[in-house]
Structure 1
């Protein structure tokens, strides 16, 4: 039995502009250079990354975003774990790339679905990056995390997590 490197990457790592793509692209390229069979699992944004916003909405706060109309293919970690397990135990996954994503949607659509689950309307507050930073700081987000949060919003706004895939 031959080895298979399974690497968990990010959506559109090979040519994406999302701020996390370049480091994943470098890792994918390093794996390719080894000549070892590989399978790249390019995960879109985890729904679980939105827990803070979801908890805020449950408590009655608005959903704050500077992502504009950028789309994300949110996906549950559990679904990604199942996909990874299938690659690890299955056959025929040598030298493959899977773009693992949910249906791309804008923040307003995600929040509407959340509102349906909660049985109430949730206000979406679209702001610029500076205001977003101030709001996150005011909510107690550690200063060290603020650049990552803003880069995520910018990356979404710029289409970095918008990918259509049936993988």
Structure 2
């Protein structure tokens, strides 16, 4: 990968909205299966600074949940936030089709289909957090409030240990 930063739907959306961010490239290894942990390790960050973007189905409606890679998504909590009864992780193929990104590179911004977005409340403890920039090996550093502005999202306690 060259030193130039990639242009992705996420960076295009942020640039169009005038929302500041810092791009970070790291070496993605094909053997990696936990993409968030890989990003934290390769960028030299704590796992509570790097957030994973998960697509969930709440009573059949898709939504985006963004939680620290050090934590798990609390499915009951995301269902409650979305005024639903049951939440499950969306099928990976459906997530890729609806977002336009590959699993491991799903960014909360610039998705093909605009989905309701919930950012874990722990993000507010940091000036900036890291989320996928729209491909494996590419993260964006962004202020939590700017991420919410870019996605029209809300914050709630949706992560658990």
In the superposition, the TM-score normalised over structure 2's length comes to 0.30
- Bigger fraction of residues in helix: 1
Structure with larger Rg:
1
- Bigger fraction of residues in strand: 2
